[in-house]
Amino acid sequence: MPECNLEQNKADCTCTYTSCGKRGLCCECLRSHWSAGELPGCLFPKDVEKTYDRSVEKFIATYQKRR
């Protein structure tokens, strides 16, 4: 993907699963998580991301509480 800035994406990635082969490849990460019914870790606050619960339900619950 020529328009993907892999090094900048890796530097900005907040996911704590650092050995992931999709790190920095946001489109691949999103595709992978979405196919499993999840969202990528970068959409969650750091404290929630660390739980590895990437469910849509967790996302909704997290942001309903933080409003």
Give the pLDDT confidence of 31-57 residue by residue, as tens digits: 999 999 999 999 999 999 999 999 999
Query: Residue 66's pLDDT is what?
Result: 73
Predicted TM-score (pTM) of this structure: 0.80
Sorted by sequence, the CB contacts under 8 Å of residue 7 that are 6+ apart come out as 24
Query: Residue 2's pLDDT is what?
Result: 63
Domain range enclosing 57: 6-65
Report the run of H or E that residue 61 belongs to, with start and end.
helix 56-65
Specify if 57 maps to a domain. Answer: yes
Specify if 55 maps to a domain. Answer: yes
Match 């595709």 to its residue by tokens. Answer: 31
Q: How confident is the model at residue 4 (pLDDT cuts 50, 70, 90)?
A: confident
Specify if 1 maps to a domain. Answer: no
Specify if 46 maps to a domain. Answer: yes
Query: Residue 67's pLDDT is what?
Result: 66
Specify if 43 maps to a domain. Answer: yes
Specify if 37 maps to a domain. Answer: yes
User: Domain total for the chain?
Assistant: 1
Radius of gyration of the chain (CA): 12
Helix (H, G, I), strand (E, B) or coil at 32: helix
Specify if 49 maps to a domain. Answer: yes
Flag whether pLDDT at 1 surpasses 70. Answer: no
